[in-house]
Structure 1
Amino acid sequence: MKANVGSIDRTIRILVGACLIAATLFGVIGPWGWLGLVPLATGIFRFCPAYCPFGFRTCTIEK
């Protein structure tokens, strides 16, 4: 797995994922907030499987 998630994209994914999980834990939103695990994991691992079929990447190309 090559990294295909850049630093800004990564930061946004981690923040959104953590906020969704926190909102679920505090009872602000329902159980669908556990979907926040997806952006959190893709941000941590710097790899998004949805980008692969389209050849999309938000990180710099390694030389």
Structure 2
Amino acid sequence: MTANVGGIDRIARILVGLVLIGLTLAGQIGAWGWIGVVPLLTGLTRFCPAYPLLGMNTCPMKKD
């Protein structure tokens, strides 16, 4: 898996995932809050399986 999630995108995914999971654990939102696992994992692994299908990449290219 090649990294395709860049800096700001990665931070946003991790924060959104943690907030959704936290709200679910606090009882503020229902079981749908567990969907926060998806952005959390894609942020931590730096890979989003939807990006190649959409032709997207927010990860900066490495210069040789």
| TM-score, length of structure 1 as denominator length | 0.96
Any idea what SS the aligned residue of 1:51 has?
helix
Question: Following TM superposition, by how much is the alpha carbon of 1:62 offset from its aligned partner in structure 2, in angstroms?
Answer: 2.2
* Unmatched segments (≥5 aa) in structure 2: none
Measured in 2, the distance between the counterparts of 1:54 and 1:15 equals: 23
* Unaligned runs of at least 5 residues, structure 1: none
User: May I ask how many residue pairs the two structures share in their alignment?
Assistant: 63
After TM superposition, give the deviation of residue 53 of structure 1 in Å. Answer: 1.2
State the Cα distance separating 1:9 from its structure 2 match.
0.2
Report % sequence identity. Answer: 62
Structure 1 stretches of 4+ with a deviation exceeding 4 A read none
Q: After TM superposition, give the deviation of residue 30 of structure 1 in Å.
A: 0.2
